[in-house]
Amino acid sequence: MTLQECYVKIGGDYNDILHRFMNENMVRKFVLKFPQDNNMALFEESWAKKDYETAFRAMHTLKGVAVNLGFTALYNVSSALTEKLRSQEYDNLDGLIADVKKQYDIVIKAIAALD
């Protein structure tokens, strides 16, 4: 899969990221580093322990990485979850957390399929 096809698959904005990073090799370099980011795992671990402050920071960081890499669909759901956590709304988030995990998994699988 090409990098552009990857962005289509993940609901990202390839043209925007290419414009900001100036060349595809630079985009590829940072996209390939994304799977090593541990913020999703940190969020899940913190959430399970009811460590809501750490969960918030991890999700906020994931949101920032997603927007900076042009992962629009992941950014949208992680942003929504970040705002709930910022407001200390901890109930009834299972669906939103599932949406974040789903988009995160889509991104990870698409990156793994890059040529």
Q: Which token pair is 70?
A: 């042009």
For residue 62, the model assigns a pLDDT of: 99
> What is the reported pLDDT for 86?
97
Report the distance separating Cα 23 and Cα 31, nearest Å.
13
State the pTM of this model: 0.94
Q: Which domain holds residue 68?
A: 3-112
For residue 76, what pLDDT is reported?
A: 98
Angular region, 114: left φ>0, alpha ψ -120 to 50, beta rest: beta
Q: What CATH number is given to the structural domain containing 28?
A: 1.20.120
Q: For the chain, how many structural domains are there in total?
A: 1
Determine the Cα angle at 48 with ends 65 and 44, to 5°: 20
Predicted pLDDT of residue 113? 97
Q: 70 φ, ψ to 5°?
A: 75, 25
Whole-number pLDDT of residue 37: 97
Q: pLDDT 10s digit of each residue in the chain, 115 long? A: 999 999 999 999 999 999 999 999 999 999 999 999 999 999 999 999 999 999 999 999 999 999 999 999 999 999 999 999 999 999 999 999 999 999 999 999 999 999 8
Q: Is 13 exposed, middle or buried (0-12, 13-18, 19+ CB in 10 A)?
A: middle
- pLDDT of 88 reads 96
- What's residue 7's pLDDT? 97
Structure tokens at 61: 């960081």
